[in-house]
Amino acid sequence: MSSRIGDQVGDEEVKRILDRIYRRLLRASQEEVLERRRLRRVSSVEEFRKAVKSGRPVVVVFTSPMCPGCQMYKPMVEEAARRLEDVEFIEVDAYELPELAWEYGVTGLPATVIFVGGEPVDGFMGAVDADTLAWYVRRAVRRGTLDHVHRVGEEEA
């Protein structure tokens, strides 16, 4: 009597079962990553306008794949996004959509602009940690009006 599973049910059947298990695990893993990832990349001006006019507060992060600071900032943004589930977080590549970067006064990357009610209400240039970003967002949502846009590290008036 053989103890190999392949001998008992056939090698092709084992391959089929393992392939099915692998596909289920892969699908579950991909769904988990998508569920954890809350920073959504927009690729058109229309998609951007629709997102900021959604009625929810929206944090827009202007980045570039060539910007090392932007790549370091993204995990902080993801963490803040997980904490602030009622806020939408979107990423805009400033080089793919330069008209948006120009419209919102982006002169350095990364840059963050916070929208409430479809209007920009706060923003800053530079990277911050997740706690600081969450603080900026909560403050902007409470205020709900544009009173200033400043660079990270500048004193508030």
77-115 pLDDT, tens digit each = 999 999 998 999 999 999 999 999 999 999 999 999 999
pLDDT per position as a tens digit, 14-55: 888 888 887 777 776 655 544 455 899 999 999 999 999 998
Let me know whether 14 and 44 are in one domain.
no
Let me know whether 65 and 142 are in one domain.
yes
Measured CA to CA, the distance from residue 66 to residue 98 in angstroms comes to 15
Let me know whether 121 and 140 are in one domain.
yes
Residues that are catalytic:
67, 70
Strands (E), 16-149: 39-42, 58-63, 88-93, 111-116, 119-125
Mean pLDDT confidence for 53-78 = 95
- How crowded is residue 4: how many other Cβ atoms within 10 Å of its Cβ? 9
| Confidence at residue 34, expressed as pLDDT on a 0 to 100 scale | 47
Domain encompassing residue 22: 5-34
Let me know whether 59 and 17 are in one domain.
no
The residues, ordered by sequence, that sit 6+ positions from 152 with a Cβ below 8 Å of its Cβ are: 124, 125, 126, 127, 128
Residue 117 domain-assigned? yes
Residue 83 domain-assigned? yes
Number of domain units in the chain: 2
Residue 61 domain-assigned? yes
Strands (E), 64-132: 88-93, 111-116, 119-125
- CATH assignment at residue 90: 3.40.30.10
Let me know whether 139 and 111 are in one domain.
yes
User: Cα(first)–Cα(last) distance of the chain, in Å?
Assistant: 84
pTM over 0.75: no
Let me know whether 24 and 42 are in one domain.
no
| Confidence at residue 8, expressed as pLDDT on a 0 to 100 scale | 59
Let me know whether 25 and 51 are in one domain.
no
91/154: higher pLDDT: 91
Let me know whether 42 and 107 are in one domain.
yes
Residue 120 domain-assigned? yes
| Confidence at residue 67, expressed as pLDDT on a 0 to 100 scale | 95
The residues, ordered by sequence, that sit 6+ positions from 93 with a Cβ below 8 Å of its Cβ are: 41, 43, 62, 63, 64, 65
75/38: higher pLDDT: 75
Measured CA to CA, the distance from residue 151 to residue 85 in angstroms comes to 26
User: Is a pLDDT exceeding 80 seen at residue 148?
Assistant: no
**Sheet arrangement for strand 88-93:** 39-42, 88-93, 58-63, 111-116, 119-125, 150-151
